[in-house]
Amino acid sequence: QVQVVESGGGLVQTGGSLRLSCAASERIYTLNAMAWYRQAPEKQRELVAYISDIGRINYADSVKGRFTISRDNAKNTVWLQMNSLKPEDTAVYYCNMGTYYSGTYFAGDYWGQGTQVTVSS
């Protein structure tokens, strides 16, 4: 019933930028955080970044200094600003609603459909 929708993916050259957007149809108050994951072909799903409702933020080491996650709690929306993109950032990016607890993000069962990001060299 809860819908999670991502947008903003596309094709960009190395060093370029993209801004991904994710909107949930409603807030589930037992879930206090949202996150971006990505999955490349033949690779494991990877947690890219998360942000809690009170602003706790963490990034994967591979994207620190290049990506920025932000939120609007009132609109149930989260963004991922991606700068200085590299070919290894190529993946399908998924938005997730989950839980932050004691320094760890726990994925919930609410996922977006995914948006493709392709970075060419």
Position 27 confidence tier, pLDDT thresholds 50, 70, 90: confident
Residues 53-75: tens digit of each pLDDT: 999 999 999 999 999 999 998 88
Residues 71-90: tens digit of each pLDDT: 998 889 999 999 999 999 99
Return the pLDDT at 29.
82
Return the pLDDT at 66.
98
**Among 18, 33, 17, CA closest to 9:** 18
Distances (CA, A) of 120 to 6, 18, 91, 95: 21, 13, 12, 23
Return the pLDDT at 4.
93
Return the pLDDT at 65.
98
Return the pLDDT at 56.
95
